[in-house]
Structure 1
Amino acid sequence: MLLKSHKHADIVTAEMMHKNLTEEKRESRRNVARIVQNIQFLGRQGLAFQGKEDVDSNVLQLYHMRATDDPRMLDWLKKKTNKYMSHDIQNEMLEIMALQVLREVASSIRNGVFFSILADECTDISNKEQLTLCIRWIDEKLEPHEEFIGFYHIPNIKADTIVAVIKDAVMRMNLSLSNCRGQCYDAGGQMAGSRRGVAQQILPEAPKAHPTHCPGHALNLAVCDATKSSKLLSDALDITYELCKLIKFLPKRQGLLDQIKADINLEAAALKVICPTRWTVRGLSFYCIIKNYEAL
């Protein structure tokens, strides 16, 4: 009888431990799912994850805000370990989400079969060279899509380096370069060179991927050439630049202009600083000068 009593007690204890463990797992999954949702929200909105201090981070504050409807979440934050709130885990979750998005994009492109490559290199704010890669494709309804694939850090801007990065990105998306039907770059030597340019190096593997000068870049070059011979546009450019510098970079004068516009009931868009490189977006600066002419 005593032996049976001990066995029964062991069974009851094991069942209670199993029940507690199952409940603990369920609660952990639930809270980790909330963390994933927070990271997904911040990533979708392009918001910074971390603050100056961890206590001020957007992730933690968002979690606290959601805890107002569920106090059990606060108990999770009070844990010392296994909270899945570290920077490394957040970055890993974000990377998993990014890879899932790329998988879905790659699947859509494969369904469309054929695609074109758009690429350009630039220097970012940290003075590092990076390659921007996009893929353009047409769906079954003949609707065009242009998908941003990513920024790729490159050690140099040699054609061989850029070609290697493009091939690697296409391969990782499980796309066949033989299905490429177009290449779109600027007219730089490393991209459009007639011998060892990026376009020429890709053609042997994708003979139907005809290279094209970027339409936006070509339009800007054409407008620049067309305006060089126009004294009227040259003078307008100088006047617009000086007016913007006179007002936009001095808050006192900006405030005075706003007051004058209010006094004469002039509703017009604010002055726009003129773009130093792209002629095709300078029209908005000229337009704002015309609309604010009376106040100016």
Structure 2
Amino acid sequence: MKSLNFPLLARFDPVMKQHIERVESGQFSHSSYLGNVIQNKLIASISGKIMDTVVTEIKQFKYYSVILDCTPDVSHQEQMSVTIRTVKMDKAPEIKEHFTGFLIASETTGLGLSQLILKTLMELNIPFDDCKGQSYDNGANTKGRNKEVPARLLDKNPRALHFMFHGVYIP
């Protein structure tokens, strides 16, 4: 066999090994499912289904809090990670956190970040009125005298209390 695209997979799966050998030898005259376009479509499809399940669960528990953290990526674009925390009330309460993804923050002002959060929740069809808490890293727009992002979100929903990761609870 020539060079394998997925050597570990082929090494332990005889069917995959045979398939890769056929693809590399040119026996197939049609596209294979090993191509990046098909893989990306499959990943997007699975991701969409997972996100639908997560949003359904968040809505089932109704109230939630958001956890946001901003940091620049390797290309120096500001990324905001968004996690939503719920509490499942069963025999014993169970805290669940759902990572919903990274958002590119093209505008890092308090206005820009708060609009990005609200827009994302709206796109996920998660009502911000059900948010009962918000927490952030120690970013410039989330700490200090004005606490720009938390203050803007509190204006929209006074019950979305603000607390910090590395600080004391701040009502």
Match in the other structure for 2:63: 114
Check the 8 A contact 2:66/2:131 in 1, yes or no.
yes
Could you tell me which runs of 5 or more consecutive residues in structure 1 were left unpaired when the two chains were aligned: 1-54, 220-296
Match in the other structure for 2:104: 153
Q: Residue 62 in 1 paired to residue 12 in 2?
A: no
In 2 relative to 1, CA 193–100 (structure 1 residues): closer, same or farther, beyond 3 Å? farther
Q: Residue 136 in 1 paired to residue 85 in 2?
A: yes
- The CA distance in 2 between the partners of 1:76 and 1:207, in whole Å, is 62
Check the 8 A contact 1:190/1:198 in 2, yes or no.
yes
Deviations 1:191-213 (A, max 9, x none): 24655711111123222001111
Question: What TM-score results when the alignment is normalised by the length of structure 2?
Answer: 0.79
Shift of 1:62: 2.1
- The CA distance in 2 between the partners of 1:218 and 1:183, in whole Å, is 13
Shift of 1:117: 0.6
Q: Give the AA of the match of 2:9.
A: L
Check the 8 A contact 1:138/1:144 in 2, yes or no.
yes
In 2 relative to 1, CA 71–198 (structure 1 residues): closer, same or farther, beyond 3 Å? closer
Which structure carries more helix by proportion?
1
Match in the other structure for 2:30: 81
Which structure carries more strand by proportion?
2
Question: What TM-score results when the alignment is normalised by the length of structure 1?
Answer: 0.48
Identity of aligned residues (%): 22
Choose 1 or 2 for highest CA Rg: 1
- The CA distance in 2 between the partners of 1:100 and 1:190, in whole Å, is 33
In 2 relative to 1, CA 57–165 (structure 1 residues): closer, same or farther, beyond 3 Å? farther
Within 5 A, what are the aligned runs for 1:187-206? 187-192=138-143, 195=146, 197-206=148-157
Could you tell me which runs of 5 or more consecutive residues in structure 2 were left unpaired when the two chains were aligned: none
The structure showing larger relative contact order (alpha-carbon pairs under 8 Å, at least 6 residues apart) is: 2
Q: Give the AA of the match of 1:128.
A: Q
Among residues 104, 110, 126, which one is paired with 1:175 in the alignment? 126
- The CA distance in 2 between the partners of 1:125 and 1:209, in whole Å, is 32
Deviations 1:21-67 (A, max 9, x none): xxxxxxxxxxxxxxxxxxxxxxxxxxxxxxxxxx5433x7525742x
Check the 8 A contact 2:11/2:17 in 1, yes or no.
no
Check the 8 A contact 1:184/1:212 in 2, yes or no.
yes
Within 5 A, what are the aligned runs for 1:240-259? none
In 2 relative to 1, CA 92–63 (structure 1 residues): closer, same or farther, beyond 3 Å? farther
In 2 relative to 1, CA 91–71 (structure 1 residues): closer, same or farther, beyond 3 Å? closer
Match in the other structure for 1:123: 72
Count of residues in correspondence between the two structures: 161
